[in-house]
Amino acid sequence: MHDRRFPEGAGVHLSGIAASSRWTRRPRSPYALCMIFLHETHDVVAGKMEEFWDALRGEWRPLVEADGTARILWAFELTHGTGASYQAITITAVRDWSAWGALAGRDDARARDWRRRSGTLRHEVTAKLLLAATWSPLATVDLASAPAAEQPPALYLHDTGWPFPGGVDDYVDALGSIYYPQLRQSQMISVEACWRVAPGTGRLHEAILLQKILDWPRFTELLAKGEQGAQRGGWMLEGLKYRERWDSKLLRCTSWSPLQ
């Protein structure tokens, strides 16, 4: 009997095996069910940062969060004097790969309106999908919980590390077993999340560490004087076994960022 899912003459041969057994009986991989995080870097048109945030909050956010399968977590601006001008970063939690497929595949009037609108406010957006490390303080998000009340904007350190080829898992594990415990003792900054880039969505050998600055006076002293004494050891030396290049950005939350 002809399988109605394929047009006649399409050249599909299942070698006597029923199509349903080939396509629907295989158990779903747990990987498909994990929460993923959309990381977007927005290069905003000069002078239009406030207009961009208004549009993102009023148009893109309702579009993303409409069906309850995704939620914007952080909305950051790169602080002046620490990197590229007019740059913003957003991090969005997405329930799973199925939800991401539905979101990415939207092509209705609202999605098209947003693409046109955002094109007038930013030069480019670079996106990648992230998977939480097994030890990450933030691994899943309750998408049904009520949004938090607005709080004073917080400052974060956003570190991107590029481990040696083939060593991304070892690098992420070392961050959790060596760096994370050292940082918890210092109480100057706290690790909020650690991610690696999902295969096929960005640079393979890359991991991101998001850290909230808790003690600004101590952090500014570190910036002014650099690592001193015992600070020059520990992770600063141990980390070189796993990577030698990384990038740090100082980010400021917008006033409306759901997480501060």
Q: For residue 42, what are its two tokens?
A: 């927005």
Binned at pLDDT 50, 70 and 90, residue 151 comes out as: confident
Identify the H or E element spanning 73: strand 70-78
Query: What is the reported pTM?
Result: 0.84
Neighbours of 192 (CB within 10 A): 18
Position 233 confidence tier, pLDDT thresholds 50, 70, 90: low
> Measured in whole angstroms, how far is the alpha carbon of residue 109 from the centre of its chain?
26
Q: What span, in angstroms and rounded, lies between the C-alpha atoms of 120 and 69? A: 28
Predicted pLDDT of residue 99: 96
Q: What are the angstrom distances between the C-alpha of 126 and each of 19, 131, 202, 204? A: 38, 17, 9, 15
CATH of 30-140+151-253 among 3.40.50.300, 2.60.120.460, 3.30.70.100, 3.20.20.140? 3.30.70.100
pLDDT of residue 138: 97
CA–CA distance, 205 with 178 (Å, rounded to integer): 20
pLDDT of residue 150: 73
Max Cα-Cα span within the chain: 77
Taking only the tens place, the pLDDT of each residue in 119-144 is: 999 999 999 999 999 999 999 999 98
Task: Name the residue among 10, 76, 8 with its Cα closest to residue 42.
Answer: 76
pLDDT tens-digit map of 78-115: 998 788 899 999 999 999 999 999 999 999 999 999 99
Q: How far apart are CA 73 and CA 257, in angstroms?
A: 7
